[in-house]
Amino acid sequence: MKTITLVLPFLFICLLLWAGFSPVLAQDKSLKKATFAGGCFWCMEKPFETLPGVSAVLSGYMGGTTQNPNYENYSAGGHLEVIEITYDPEQTSYQQLLDVFWRQIDPTDAGGQFVDRGHSYTSAIFFHDDEQRDIAEASKRVLGGRAIFAQPMVTPILPVAAFFPAEEYHQDYYRQNPIRYKYYRNNSGRDRFLDKIWGKGRKLFTDKELRVNLNKLQYEVTQEDGTEPAFNNSYWNNKQAGIYVDIVSGEPLFSSHDKYNSGTGWPSFTRPLVAENIVEREDRSFFATRTEIRSRWGDSHLGHLFNDGPQPTGLRYCMNSAALRFVAVEDLAREGYGQFREAFEP
């Protein structure tokens, strides 16, 4: 009788797991994977591990003809060094992962990456489904059309293959061996190349592109931490329904639902529309300590956060109109923000 008592709960749990009722399994089903090759996998882990919604970044091998490769023989088997990213698409999109990926590599180098030479160190995007393939191809096409690089982009877009995790000592190498990692990174030539192409902030657009696409005030506010005149800007008194996005990156930031008249002459909000797209930084300029607000993907200076707003949050996100672009409700779907349309329906 005691044996039956112990076995029945075990069988019941197994049935629940098989039927898909496990909260852990349900959570896992919402996660996706992305796989990139960008040369030395030591250098590729860190940029992705800091992104919202990324739960794991593993170094490994992919693309060869041998099974269970290791660090001693993966190159002979035709494998590339890759990273496999597990992420929540509700917090970070595949396009955003690609934006980070392109800013870590030289996509014009068919012979390796920086100091590391040979096929095993070449770059590649391994897509897990048709949607990832289409997004990757479009991303590569758009980036190539911007003429940022002197040579054509050669990074291939390939179907995902078997992933073989690298040895434990390769995982999070930059954390486990920070001194050796910094020495290697500084001497690899990677950062010198990336700083030359993108600038030290690794921004979505080069400074030249920003100066062409932004007017003088927009550039001054977003790139030089400027402030526009109060009561003399586009949105301080805008009462239309819609959302406000970053003028540089287009990432959604605020909603008209949370906008209020603060009396300051700048557009003010009680909360962000997508909290993950907002970055807070300490600002000690002008002999005071304030909280600066920047966009995560565009790295645009947006404004400042204060604690004198109305309830329920008590917050005032005081933004610059010059850092924002307004998208009206009727234009949300057409401009790719259809997921926010439901919030405006009666």
Which two structure tokens, joined as six digits, stand for 229? 């005149």
The overall longest dimension of the chain from CA atoms, in Å, is 81
pLDDT in tens, 225-236: 999 999 999 999
Give me the catalytic one of 318, 322, 323, 327. Answer: 318
**Structural domains of the chain, with CATH:** 26-198 (3.30.1060.10), 216-344 (2.170.150.20)
> Which of the four pLDDT bands, split at 50, 70 and 90, describes residue 2?
very low
Sheet containing strand 290-295, edge to edge, reads 259-260, 268-269, 316-319, 301-306, 290-295, 278-283
C-beta separation of 335 from 246 below 8 A: no
Assess whether 14 carries a catalytic annotation. no
Q: Can you tell me the mean pLDDT for 278-291?
A: 87
Give me the catalytic one of 37, 40, 214, 332. Answer: 40
Q: Which residues pair with 281 in a beta bridge?
A: 292
- Please name the helix (run of DSSP H) or strand (run of DSSP E) that holds residue 287, with its range, or none: none
Which two structure tokens, joined as six digits, stand for 296? 């995560």
Assess whether 43 carries a catalytic annotation. no
Higher pLDDT, 325 or 16: 325
Reply yes or no on whether the pLDDT at 22 is more than 90: no
Q: How many residues does the chain have?
A: 346
C-beta separation of 67 from 61 below 8 A: no
pLDDT in tens, 108-141: 999 999 999 999 999 999 999 999 999 999 999 9
Tokens 């934006």 locate to: 99
pLDDT in tens, 188-206: 999 999 999 988 777 788 8
Q: Can you tell me the mean pLDDT for 177-184?
A: 90
